[in-house]
Structure 1
């Protein structure tokens, strides 16, 4: 039975495993800023229904029920003023900073046990997943065995350049350049865990922006391939006909799966089941 709630200020949707047990795996999922752009919409787009695991969809800051006054239009207006300071940075870093308290609350509210953990994220939510993998997993004591990164933000500078081609150049300064460095996971590939290397599947759409998303995803895959002892724990899949998002606009509420979302869901389930069950 699906549960909705708030864990230390973070809204979530949670679906329990079909076989309740103390060592049931946990899959943490973060949505996109594109569609699906809330935890509720993400749970409908990627239900991961064939996984015998907890699926917990976490709302990002400044999204869903935490949108600024004025809703989605107000968030977009703020992003137009300064997309890094007003959107990317507070959302991504806020999600990582609030995870320790929210995960502790989730354990208490849902009875999460000691099973392995997998991460799923889309776009900026995939950047959150990567930050958790590199920076937060060890302090939290999370045994992360796998991740699925969909339309991921891999190199923020390339994303900003892609946005700039449509909306005008974004110029990084000393304050924002450090954040861009933090969200350059190609440059940080050497920080991916060396012991018990988590299995990483990257899923991109063939119609997504080449320089902003497709090329960085390939670069990340190539950099990790040099470091991974087992090549079967690393994968890059292109979904034909998919753009950046994979749900119908506006992507705020649960909606029927699109064809692309169904493909992504199947790719995520197949990958996670393989490593969560091992």
Structure 2
């Protein structure tokens, strides 16, 4: 399967990306930045196929994550990094680098493709959702809305889950504790302000993803934001079939997630 005919692939500021234009190119067209999962779909090309945001009259930019896709050191090395030090070597490193490289990526894509200064929304799946939230709380981007799918919102429960999977115990250190604090979007909910957020989680996903989504949604609503949570029956964590590297046919669950995301973003952008 190939990408949509209007999709452009490239590398800007060292970041591989997929870009899809709006139906009506114009200076004030909205821009959606959508970061992929580290599970399937685990590349920008695979995510653009799984979540094309079809029918949304906006620029759709899919950045590739560090240590993934073209920048992956290989499966065995990723597994080694995760076993050795999942916070500093893997999740913390990917999150921090993806947020840090966003401004240069946006500048380069805007200059090359004529993307204007319209309103911006952030979308992410799993680790990509954590990056989307971090980009907002760290004021790297000013967002109109967000859609967080199978979201990694708190690192500590994820590390506990990984430790159980690998049959090991993770020992938090003075170096890794601040990383978990920085990535704790539930604790930092006030820094999201009144960002309208739609959370989408599979009913078969782990509690380490579902419970933080419930808590963050409650915190946002208590703070005056508009936020909702959709739990999709039969859906697990991934949004594509393995191996999730190349574009593949959209699954039924991904199609539903896509429709939910498009409806939320169209409303936020006041699009027909």
How much does 1:250 deviate?
Answer: 0.8
Alignment map for 1:110-259 (pairs within 5 Å): 110-137=113-140, 142-167=141-166, 168-193=168-193, 197-210=194-207, 212-228=208-224, 233-259=226-252
Mark the runs of 5 or more structure 2 residues left unpaired by the alignment.
Answer: 1-5
- TM-score, scaled relative to structure 2: 0.95
What residue in structure 2 maps to residue 101 of structure 1? 104
- TM-score, scaled relative to structure 1: 0.93
How much does 1:114 deviate?
Answer: 1.3
Mark the runs of 5 or more structure 1 residues left unpaired by the alignment.
Answer: none
**Given the alignment of the two structures, is residue 269 of structure 1 paired with residue 265 of structure 2, yes or no?**
no
Cα RMSD (Å): 1.1
Indicate which of 6, 9, 12 corresponds to 1:7: 12
SS at match of 1:184: coil
Indicate which of 49, 71, 80 corresponds to 2:54: 49
Distance 1:239 1:179 in 2: 30
Distance 1:227 1:115 in 2: 26
Distance 2:195 2:222 in 1: 15
Could you give the per-residue CA deviations for residues 15-71 of structure 1, whole angstroms, max 9, x where no partner exists? 000001000000001001000000000000000011000000000011100011xx2
Moved over 6 A (4+): none
Residue 189 and residue 143 in structure 1: after superposition, are their counterparts in 2 closer, same or farther (change >3 A)?
closer
